[in-house]
Structure 1
């Protein structure tokens, strides 16, 4: 997978409801772009999902995966009290390149 495109993305589980556990992390896209790989799992892109756009290949759980926003308001329902975790290996790059903070 070394030649495949990677990108920092927002990943939120929708299997437990509209505001699920969420994180910012680096994903790898398949050659076709129809699947995303993150943390040893594969997420398949789907159309027509209600509040989700990917499903986990291993168990069918629903996820919203998108590019992170510069303003940090990645959640569909931003008044959620559920924190968004940021993977340690992308933390500096996320704050510098996406959020514009030093």
Structure 2
């Protein structure tokens, strides 16, 4: 199962780019259509206004993407994501110029 450090933001119930966000490990299915994060199962879907995944149990919508080195992970609002402790060292190294684990070749 592919595992990547990702930026994840809850979209449901918040104005554009105002929901809580995290930097953490996300496990993906072999097809990349399902993501597992913080005990949630997120399914990829198109046609949502401001999201690309939804929680299969609650229907809540999320934006899941690779983190950006300049920390501009959201489009319209400043973001201060909570960095999961088990991802902090790899994320700090990424901010310093290292590739993300699993993305060494692009």
Question: TM (normalized to structure 1)?
Answer: 0.87
Question: TM (normalized to structure 2)?
Answer: 0.84
- Secondary structure in 1 aligned to 2:12? coil
1:9 and 2:35 matched: no
1:71 Cα deviation after fit:
0.6
1:17-68 Cα distance to aligned partner (Å, 9 max, x none): 2210000000000112101001111100011211110000111001000000
Match of 1:89 in 2: 86
- Size of the alignment, in residue pairs? 96
Q: What CA distance in whole angstroms lies between the structure 2 residues aligned with 1:93 and 1:78?
A: 25
Q: Which runs of 4+ in 1 moved over 3 A?
A: none
After superposition, the Cα gap between the structure-2 partners of 1:99 and 1:78, relative to the gap in structure 1 and judged at 3 Å, is: farther
Match of 2:104 in 1: none
> Which structure 2 residue ranges, 5 or more long, are not aligned?
99-106
Match of 2:96 in 1: 100
Match of 1:43 in 2: 42
Indicate the RMSD between aligned Cα atoms, in angstroms: 1.5
1:92 Cα deviation after fit:
1.0
